[in-house]
Amino acid sequence: MREETIIRRLQSGDPAGLEALMERYIPYVSAVVWNILRDAMPPEDGEEVVSDVFLAAWRQAGDLRPGSVKAWLGSVARHKAKNRLRRMGRDLPLEEDALDIPGPEDPPGEYERAVERQLVRQAVDSLPDPDREVFLRHYYYAQTVQEIAHCMDLNLSTVKTKLRRGRTRLKEILTREGFTSEA
């Protein structure tokens, strides 16, 4: 079924539209959710988050536009997964291997890169919560400024300000810690 047909059926309240949407996008939505949740909760809870994404599509079918359904679903999936982590009292994840300390078999310079990654993670963790979330959404989850503004119910200028403030803060911390980027 074509995306336009799926959207039209969803908007008219036809359950076949929701079934077609799920059939097409459930692997994608599941991947987005599990990339955020990782091992933070049992599979049943993660499946509930995936279901919540499609329930949101059903309830907000009027927001869906041909050609942007996948992006919309991905944005909602990221938002719902992160909210579930917050409700559980968990932080938004960074790369799990960011703190791995290399062994003697690793290539030269790997230890220094691991230390740099640890400093970056500590710097990001030191950002105040709303700024940290905006920073992670943009630089780690590759959300656009518009997606962040929509998901977090913020103005575009507020998101841009938080990103600029976050970059400035990170630069101050990393400079103080002696981290210099040599390109």
Same fold, 3-87 and 96-176: no
Q: Write out the chain's pLDDT in tens, 183 residues.
A: 899 999 999 999 999 999 999 999 998 898 888 878 877 778 888 899 999 999 999 999 998 988 889 888 988 998 898 888 877 776 554 444 333 444 444 455 565 666 677 777 777 878 887 888 888 888 777 778 998 888 888 999 999 999 998 888 888 877 876 665 543
The model scores a pTM over 0.85: no
CB atoms < 10 A from the CB of 162, how many? 24
**Domain locations in the chain as residue ranges:** 3-87, 96-176
Domain covering 96-176, topology: Arc Repressor Mutant, subunit A (1.10.10)
The answer to whether 18 and 58 are in contact (CB under 8 A) is yes
Q: What is the rounded distance in angstroms from the CA atom of residue 9 to the CA atom of residue 69?
A: 14
- Enter the CATH code of domain 3-87: 1.10.1740.10
